[in-house]
Amino acid sequence: MTSTTTATRAELAAAVAGEQDRAAPPQVAAVCREILRVHGTSVLGLLFYGSCLREHRPDEGVIDVYVLVRSYRGAYRSRALAASNALLPPNVFYVEVPSNGLVVRAKYAVISLEDFARAVRPESFHATIWGRFCQPALLAWAASKAARAEIAALGADAVVTMVLRATALMLARDGSGEIRSEDLWLRGFRETYKTELRAERRSTVAGIYHADPGRYDRMLALAIRCLDAEGSLSAVPTADGAHRVRMGAASRKRLVRGWKIRRPVAKAVSVVRLVKSALTFGDWVPYALWKVQRHTGVRPRLTPLQSRHPLIFGWPVVLRLVRQRALR
């Protein structure tokens, strides 16, 4: 790695660190204390992300946290939970904690720092992770300065991965084209959500960029400089704020093919994760129905039998939501 490459990566990591190093709201701090109580000294970092952060409303909805741990065995008393986390990370849990006289609701995902690092690289199948953490996140707690620096660097990796993979989709077959920030981020978010069973309106996806367009414009410019320095593409900024980009035609084709391969595989993995989460999440059915209604306006209705045994009898409801495009 050249000195120029190292410097550009460091600049991007510093920008991500600046976002992550904000003070956590008291509601998030209360959730973090509960997570630390449960998972102990194995925790390296707690990343608060998602709509509650983006919309500045941690007292509404369900707070989202990623829990980065040293090892799965150290994070659990249960060998079964540790094994399931290692086999198909992350494990997802739901928690309610008191804060200032109110009940704060949160779901959190447990993943090792090693698995997280693999998941934010361009070759990863985990578009769910680099698609989330190319967005702003707040490092609500970190075990050390070293952990804080490493987590910021991984956030920078997520940004670079999103920009690289979304850029490939927007270039012509010969690998040339002009990239505009809004177009790139909206295309990237739409494509990452297509790899999941997500209940998201187009307006919700657009809202991610429009919540802070200046931030995404800056991150794109830094990521483009990183990719240029590393030789993944060449880019020249234009007078109107776009980027004139050229990428090797073979590289572009490989990256585009990767999207096509990942989509069905990742959706299948999402189904397996959904079933696994049902075993760890707790009372997940009301949460799932609320989530679908909140994001789509569609209100699923379950029979008493489906409510009692959703994994056995709930699949007709899931298929109906897919047909209605509430889940894609």
Q: Provide the residue ranges of all domains of the chain, joining segments of one domain with +.
A: 3-272, 283-323
What mean pLDDT is predicted for residues 45-62? 89
Kindly tell me if the per-residue pLDDT of 317 is higher than 90: no
Helix (H) or strand (E) holding 84: helix 79-87
Least confident of 172-176, 227-231, 284-288: 284-288
Among 253, 266, 262, 139, residue whose Cα is nearest residue 198:
266
At 104-132, the pLDDT tens digits run 989 999 999 999 999 999 988 778 899 99
Rounded to whole angstroms, the Cα distance separating 210 from 179 reads: 17
Q: Could you tell me the CA-to-CA distances from 32 to 19, 180, 209 in Å, in that order? A: 18, 38, 27
Q: Is the pLDDT of residue 16 over 80?
A: yes
Q: For position 169, what pLDDT does the model report? A: 96
pLDDT per residue over 195-206, tens digit each?
776 555 677 888
- Judging by DSSP bridges, how do beta strands 243-246 and 234-237 pair with one another? antiparallel
Q: Which long-range contacts (CB under 8 A, 24 or more apart) does 124-130 make?
A: 124/161, 125/262, 125/265, 125/266, 125/269, 126/266, 127/191, 127/192, 127/195, 127/196, 127/262, 127/266, 128/192, 128/195, 128/196, 128/266, 128/270, 129/158, 130/157, 130/158, 130/161, 130/162, 130/192
Q: Mean pLDDT over all residues of the chain?
A: 86
Record the tokens describing residue 114, joined without a space: 């090693």
pLDDT digits (tens, 9 = 90+) for 208-250: 999 999 999 999 999 999 999 999 999 999 999 999 999 999 9
